[in-house]
Amino acid sequence: MTATQESGTRTGDKLLGKVAFVTGGTRGIGAAISRSLASQGADVAAGYSGNQQAAEKFAQDFTATFPDRDVTVHRGDIGSAEDCRRCVAEVVEQHGRLDVLVNNAGITVDRTVAKMVDADWSRVIDVNLSGAFYLSQAALKHMLERGSGRIVMISSVIGETGGIGQVNYASAKSGLFGLTKTLAREAAMQLQRSGNTNGIGITVNAVTPGYTATEMLDAVPEKVLDGLRAKIPLGRLGQPEEVARVVHFLAADASSYITGQVWGVNGGLDM
């Protein structure tokens, strides 16, 4: 079974009874993650910022594919701390719990260091890094009360390698490594202190996709994409579903001994 087929139908029950909130969960990699988590039985809350049409289409397709799973969509700008807190509260209120948070939403505003203006820098840091912090902070409080949870950050291979014209994006994406490892340590410590341990625990991990075929790459000229493909040992772009399957693996209860790690899904690009 291919990764695409795996996320298009119900294939297992590793996440049955769980609720997952996927930011940017209505398009691209996030939509594949939403479907992948549902393929293992999770109910899904998908976040988006403004593309209502895509959000409605996502919810319709989701219900057609997974008629026995609940899906809700939540509009909010994760560049705003208030929206982050409101969205987490909304998900818990509407679904009664939150087991899995996937900090997937992200943007690019590419310019060289010389040309980057203050607003380009701060917007990308606000959305790609601070948003993940505020969402995780709110989700972790709830997870600690319940004694279990999973947080997965969608970083990028660019956070590991840097990228010309992407100083804001690379800084935010590598910032997610520090956020992941610190949250992983604090969650483990607080859970042990509370004595609220059930074997599932709270884990925090990051996934670093390489170049993946979504609308985010529409901004990249075809000639540049050809150059990028030539550098990837596997010789092609990744598919969103190939990133998503790592997320549902990390989200499972049985992945309870994996925390504070960075998982590359990049066709060998960083070797």
> Which entry of 134, 169, 211, 257 is annotated as an active-site residue?
169
Please report how close the Cβ of residue 2 comes to ligand NAP at its closest, in angstroms: 19
Is the CB of 30 or the CB of 201 nearer to ligand NAP?
30
Give dist(CA 6, CA 241) in Å, integer. 8
Question: Any catalytic annotation for residue 169?
Answer: yes
Is the CB of 213 or the CB of 258 nearer to ligand NAP?
213
Give dist(CA 35, CA 8) in Å, integer. 6
Query: 21 - beta bridge partners?
Result: 45, 101
Torsion of CA 156, 58, 94, 11, to 10 degrees: -80
Please report how close the Cβ of residue 186 comes to ligand NAP at its closest, in angstroms: 23
Please report how close the Cβ of residue 140 comes to ligand NAP at its closest, in angstroms: 19
Give dist(CA 35, CA 56) in Å, integer. 15
Evaluate whether 231 touches 269 at the Cβ level (below 8 Å). yes
Please report how close the Cβ of residue 173 comes to ligand NAP at its closest, in angstroms: 7
Give dist(CA 229, CA 154) in Å, integer. 21
Read off the amino acid at residue 247: V
Is the CB of 201 or the CB of 267 nearer to ligand NAP?
267
Residues that bind ligand NAP (CB under 6 A): 23-24, 26-30, 47-51, 54, 77-79, 104-107, 127, 154, 156, 209, 211-212, 214-217
Residue carrying the six token digits 């949250």: 183
Is the CB of 53 or the CB of 257 nearer to ligand NAP?
53
244 SS3 class? helix
Active site members:
169
